[in-house]
Amino acid sequence: MKAKLLRRLAAVGLLIALAGCGRDEVKVDFMEGCVRGGASKSICKCIFGKIEPDLRQMHAGEQVEALGQHMVQATAMCLRD
C-alpha cells in the first residue's frame, strides 16, 4: 500500500515539475501584469507581439534602451487596430 502511494506521489511530483518546464515566463508574466492593469487579453497579446524581443532581452538581464517608449508606441498601434 505504501509503495503504491509513493509511486503516485512521485508521478504527481514529476508532472508538476514538467508542467513548469514548458512555461514561457516572459509571456506569462507580461500577460498577467497587462490584464491586471486593465487591458483586454487581445490588446495585451498584440502589445507583447510588438515588444517581445525587448522583453526577452530585459528578462535575460540585458540593458534595453527605450522600452517604455516602445511599449507606448505598441499600445497606441494595438489600440488603433
Q: Which residues contact 30 (CB under 8 A, 6 or more apart)?
A: 44, 48, 55
C-alpha–C-alpha distance, residues 68 and 32, integer Å: 18
C-alpha–C-alpha distance, residues 23 and 30, integer Å: 13
Would you write out the chain's pLDDT as a tens digit for each of its 81 residues?
555 545 555 544 544 544 455 678 899 999 999 999 999 999 999 999 999 999 999 888 888 888 888 889 999 999 997
Cell of 5: 502511494
- For residue 15, the model assigns a pLDDT of 47
- In this prediction the pTM is 0.70
C-alpha–C-alpha distance, residues 54 and 70, integer Å: 9
